[in-house]
């Protein structure tokens, strides 16, 4: 992320990357645009980030409110919007962001919530060969400090070769509410091309969160 330093190691398997590129290029429309700089943290509920000449889209739930901009679209949400999934297409495939709000027991820490989420991801049969890429420094959601972890894995593409997937997870707790952010991306966050690095987009969405 912009100031949160997602520290990931690169997959050093050029052949797999080439196969991934060939299998995913057909579904991409272009790079995710770089958003405006994220705002300086402020006390209380901060106003959501804005973009010049862009129409904001707002989603409300009983746990949070988020603001997002094109090219992101709402892929899915449940009946009370406690889980909202956003997706955007790139030249290497779809990038997905998911926010989930829930009630937590007294004393539940962000680290506990993070570990539960990571374990559920690692138990997902859609991913193989998971690798721990380490903590996300300065992880926070809606300016509430939390805990974060980066994971590398391979995703099944049906009859196509498995491709690298980068997963970034953050969790924060405030009072009796916990919010989890998960991003799935075929884009290498260590890419030398900043136009295809989605970390600033992740920043933009989590900084827009208003806690309920």
Backbone torsions φ then ψ of 116, nearest 5 degrees: -60, -45
Neighbours of 170 (CB within 10 A): 28
Strand 160-174, strand 57-60: pairing: unpaired
- Would you write out the chain's pLDDT as a tens digit for each of its 212 residues? 544 443 333 333 333 333 333 343 333 334 454 444 444 444 445 544 555 567 899 999 999 999 999 889 999 888 788 999 999 988 778 899 999 999 999 999 999 999 999 999 988 888 889 999 999 999 999 999 999 999 999 987 777 788 899 999 999 999 999 999 999 998 877 677 766 667 888 998 999 999 99
Tokens 């992740």 locate to 202
Dist. CA 28–CA 30, nearest whole Å: 6
* pTM of the predicted structure, to 2 decimals: 0.76
Q: Domains in the chain, start-ordered, CATH in brackets?
A: 14-211 (3.40.1000.10)
CA atoms within 13 A on the CB side of 51: 18
Dist. CA 179–CA 140, nearest whole Å: 10
pLDDT at 168: 94
Cα radius of gyration (the chain): 17
């Amino acid at each position: 992320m912009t100031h949160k330093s997602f520290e990931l190691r690169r997959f050093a398997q050029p052949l797999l990357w080439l196969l991934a590129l060939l299998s995913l290029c057909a579904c991409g429309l272009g790079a995710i645009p770089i958003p405006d700089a994220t705002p300086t943290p402020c006390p209380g509920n901060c106003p959501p980030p804005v973009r010049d000449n862009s129409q904001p889209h707002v989603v409300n739930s009983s746990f949070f409110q988020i603001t997002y901009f094109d090219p992101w679209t709402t892929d899915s949400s449940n009946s009370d919007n406690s889980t909202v999934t956003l997706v955007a297409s790139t030249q290497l495939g779809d990038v997905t962001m998911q926010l989930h709000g829930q009630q937590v027991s007294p004393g539940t820490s962000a680290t506990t919530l993070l570990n539960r989420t990571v374990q559920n991801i690692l138990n997902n049969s859609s991913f193989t060969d998971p690798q721990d890429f380490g903590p996300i420094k300065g992880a926070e959601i809606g300016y509430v400090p939390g805990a974060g972890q980066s994971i590398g894995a391979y995703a099944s593409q049906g009859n196509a070769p498995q491709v690298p997937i980068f997963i970034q997870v953050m969790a924060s707790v405030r009072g009796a509410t916990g919010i989890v952010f998960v991003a799935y991306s075929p884009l290498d966050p260590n890419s030398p091309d900043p136009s295809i690095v989605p970390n600033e987009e992740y920043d933009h969405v989590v900084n827009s969160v208003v806690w309920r």
